Structure 1
């Protein structure tokens, strides 16, 4: 099955060997997304809500570059470093998914950079390109 790398304009160089998203057979797989600027620096240090918003905006950019919208998201994998931030993450998350919610899970774990408080990976069904 052919696949296409999805790299929104302005995307920096990843810190590992991956692309922001991959489109295959009408499905976008969005890599684990951290609250990084284009130089891989953590943004909004200490603010889980602002980091979540940054992550979801980045994911939105990947999905839109692939021809979809956030309504096309069917599954999210959420990673938080501290359950104390769970309510803040959920509050922002709900803004991006106001209607029928995607399936998801959320776990607490360490992330690749200590100042990152949240990471999200997504799957969206955007349909096949003509």
Structure 2
């Protein structure tokens, strides 16, 4: 099945060869999102809640560009640099998913840039 690359024009150029999302049929796959600004500058350094908010805002905008919303998210892949940030992450996450919660997993790992604390990749289903 062919897919459509989704790259919202207001986003900075990706730091590697990938699309912000790919839409295949009724499924939207959002690439891992970090709290990055123009030129790959890390935003909200040292602030896991701020990075989580930025990441989820980017995911929401990406989904909207594909004709979806956060309510369509069925699964989130979550990566935290430090599990000490788990409570701060969850507090923000709950604001963005107030209804039925998507399935997810959360892994502690190093991220692409040392100042990044949170990365999320999502899968959404339309209709």
Calculate the TM-score normalised by the size of structure 2.
0.97
Give unpaired runs (5+ residues) of structure 2: none
Give, in whole Å, the separation in 2 of the partners of 1:90 and 1:99. Answer: 14
Q: Secondary structure at the match of 1:86?
A: helix
Partner of 1:101: 101
In structure 1, the gaps of 5 or more residues are: none
Moved over 2 A (4+): none
Please give the root-mean-square deviation of Cα atoms over the aligned residues, in Å.
0.7
- The aligned length equals 127
Decide whether the 8 Å contact of 1:28 with 1:124 is kept in 2.
yes
- CA deviations on 1:38-92 (whole Å, 9 max, x unpaired) are 3211000000000000000000011000011110000000000001100000000
Match of 2:32 in 1: 32
Counterpart CA distance in 2 for 1:119 and 1:14 is: 14
Match of residue 125 from structure 1: 125
